[in-house]
Amino acid sequence: MIQPPRFEQGITPVCKFQKSLYGLKQSPRAWFHKFSKEVKKSGYIQSQANHTMFIKHTGNGKVTILIVYVDDIIVTCDDMAEIKNIKRWLATEFEVKDLGMMKYFLGMEIAPSRQGISVSQRKYTLDLLKKTGILNCKVNSTPVELGNTDRMFK
């Protein structure tokens, strides 16, 4: 912190923050501003549809995507060497912690498979049922069975 020039001679000391402090309302905005500035300098283009997504096309036809959600950064790319480079670069610019392959995100369970990536909300659904107290409820059939919907309208 430094005092603004007009207050240096003042009786009451007033300070101006040179960077935001963790926990203040403007901290996330200041962090994202710095992050997006650095990412754009590195050749990424900010998506017009989603301002928290950054895309970079390399000369060899590879695509790298960074997605930011609060203080999490999802890195995806079709080149493992590029992912290692991004992680190394991010570690030099920001204080980051590599959590490895993504397992859970926003209540979704993510699992790689041979066919691609499987996304499920099984854990979220079970947690919701447990929270509402209906996890062990008894199963009962509904009045309208599948295929017999015409009875419902008679």
Is the domain of 79 the same as that of 53? Answer: yes
Is the domain of 129 the same as that of 80? Answer: no
Reported confidence tier of residue 152, pLDDT bands at 50, 70, 90:
very low
Is the domain of 122 the same as that of 69? Answer: no
Is the domain of 85 the same as that of 117? Answer: no
Does residue 4 lie within any of the structural domains?
no
Is the domain of 80 the same as that of 107? Answer: no
- Summarised one tens digit per residue, pLDDT across range 52-67 is 999 998 878 889 999 9
Does residue 10 lie within any of the structural domains?
no
Does residue 9 lie within any of the structural domains?
no
pLDDT value at residue 112: 86
Does residue 153 lie within any of the structural domains?
no
Exposure of 7 by Cβ count < 10 A (0-12 exposed, 13-18 middle, 19+ buried)? middle
Does residue 147 lie within any of the structural domains?
no
pLDDT value at residue 144: 61
Whole-structure pTM value: 0.65
Is the domain of 45 the same as that of 78? Answer: yes
Q: What is the secondary structure of 13-34 as a DSSP string?
A: ---B-SSPPTTSTTHHHHHHHH
Does residue 151 lie within any of the structural domains?
no
Does residue 23 lie within any of the structural domains?
no
Is the domain of 32 the same as that of 95? Answer: yes
* Structural domain range at position 51: 28-99
Is 20 in contact with 8 (CB distance < 8 Å)? no
pLDDT value at residue 154: 44
Give the chain's domain count: 2
Lowest mean pLDDT among 18-32, 85-99, 131-145: 18-32
Does residue 7 lie within any of the structural domains?
no
Q: For the chain, what percent of residues have pLDDT higher than 70?
A: 77
Give the mean pLDDT of 29-49: 90
Is the domain of 75 the same as that of 48? Answer: yes
